[in-house]
Structure 1
């Protein structure tokens, strides 16, 4: 899977706001080149974390995936506690095309895949759909309050 294939899939789920900070934007420099997915049908960034991200480089304190290799990226997905537990995710975040517990945010039930390909394409799509559904449900619940 490419970054564009993932982005096209996620935006196809509906109501998704995609943020892609670029050089010179107001976003922190570390985020330039990365992608952040929010459920925001009104186009306004909601409070809280995105439901999924794609990072293209190592962040300070998050170097175990080795994303500074040419062409590497990692898709990160916020899932439910039960999905996280059922995933049986690996813990070596440097292995490509393998579902892993996020090297920093595993305690918050985030899963990750470095350079997703044939072995993880179907699970990544399913997990992204779940994350989107959860974000949509949260948004609808907040709007009803």
Structure 2
């Protein structure tokens, strides 16, 4: 899967706002090139009070998020807010357990479903450069992340 395929898949999944960070968008330079997916049922600019349910990150954020080694050529990471239940089902331990014991994961491994290197405790998972092993799971978890955003919006 490449970034454009993921963006097209998510955009076609429902009322989703796709924001690509750039100088023109007013995003900080460190985020330029990254993509943010927000539930946007009324086409009014995203969930009010809610952040993205998924992102595509294209580079390391120095001093904050470097574990995935995203500065390698052609490498990107898909991040998905799947929640505690799905996180535990997929990772074999809860987000809380991961945040305490998380040192045994190679976050730079390509095409493997992993706990998010920074936001695992909040129920986020990630895949670095999804490929044949993770393409279907990535689509499934992107759908789940959107469903969770819809549920939060409905309250």
Q: What TM-score results when the alignment is normalised by the length of structure 2?
A: 0.86
Aligned mates of 2:25, 2:129 — CA distance in 1? 26
Residue in 2 that maps onto 1:25: 25
Superposed CA deviations along residues 99-135 of structure 1, whole A, max 9, x for unmatched, are 0100000000100000000000010011000000010
Residue in 1 that maps onto 2:46: 45
Deviates more, 1:49-58 or 1:17-26: 17-26
Superposed CA deviations along residues 25-56 of structure 1, whole A, max 9, x for unmatched, are 31111111000000012231322220000000
Question: What secondary structure, in the 3-state scheme, does the structure 1 residue paired with 2:71 have?
Answer: coil
Q: Does 1:67 align with 2:70?
A: yes
Shift of 1:75: 0.1
How many residues are aligned here? 141
Unpaired runs of 5+ residues, structure 1, are none
Question: What secondary structure, in the 3-state scheme, does the structure 2 residue paired with 1:59 have?
Answer: coil
Q: Does 1:85 align with 2:88?
A: yes
Question: What secondary structure, in the 3-state scheme, does the structure 2 residue paired with 1:53 have?
Answer: strand
Do the aligned partners of 2:21 and 2:32 also contact (CA within 8 Å) in 1? yes
Question: What secondary structure, in the 3-state scheme, does the structure 1 residue paired with 2:144 have?
Answer: helix
Unpaired runs of 5+ residues, structure 2, are 93-103
Residue in 1 that maps onto 2:129: 115
Aligned mates of 1:115, 1:56 — CA distance in 2? 10
